[in-house]
Amino acid sequence: MNTKEVLITEEGFEKVKIELEYLKVEKRQEVAGRIKIAREFGDISENSEYDEAKKEQAETEARIAKLENIVKYAKLIMKDSIAKDIVSIGSKVIVLALDEEEEETYEIVGSTEADPYENKISNVSPVGSELIGKKVGDVVEVIVPAGALKYKVVNIV
């Protein structure tokens, strides 16, 4: 991760801090215990339990480093600073997909906390970047691999 600021909501920042604490306190100890047990099996050159535990240790340490960078370079998007009349990072926006006549609600977030399963879309995603700066009633056209989609901003909450 580079040294640029990381845009993140207060909620997303709290989640990062909780995960980081869990990984540093609990997960590290758990993995260290698995490595210790695997070493007791003897020859580590052909010990799949040891290899798996070391792999998990490396993944855990990589995740810790990533989360520490997020915390270090975080630029918090405060709830009370989110405009209600224009779409910005932190906004929840209700849009009408014009080709399907179906409403969808998205929360515009920084790329580190984007999660399509929770309808949290990144401000740099095709839809998110087109919605930024729009007002209720505005229509945007988004080019996606499947073609062009049109959305009308119905509400900003």
Q: Can you give the residue range of the structural domain that contains 104?
A: 82-156
Q: Among 97, 100, 101, 107, which Cα is nearest to 151's? A: 97
Specify the pLDDT at position 3: 58
pLDDT (0 to 100) of residue 138: 97
In a domain, 1, yes or no: no
pLDDT in tens, 112-140: 999 999 999 999 999 999 999 999 999 99
Any domain includes 70:
yes
Asked whether residue 101 falls in the same domain as residue 41, the answer is no
Q: Span 41-68, mean pLDDT? A: 88
Q: What is the pLDDT of residue 144?
A: 82
Within this chain, do residues 92 and 69 fall inside the same structural domain, yes or no? no
- Domain assignment present for 73: yes
Residues 73 and 88 in one domain: no
Residue 123's pLDDT is 94
Assess whether 116 and 95 both reside in one domain: yes
Whether residue 148 sits in one domain with residue 104: yes
Domain count within the chain = 2
Which residues are within 8 A (CB) of 127 and not within 5 positions of it... i.e. 6 or more apart?
A: 106, 121, 142, 149, 151
At residue 46 the predicted structure's pLDDT band, cuts being 50, 70 and 90, is confident
pTM: 0.80
**Residues 112 and 147 both lie in one domain:** yes
pLDDT at residue 2 greater than cutoff 60: no
Q: Same domain, yes or no, for 120 and 133?
A: yes
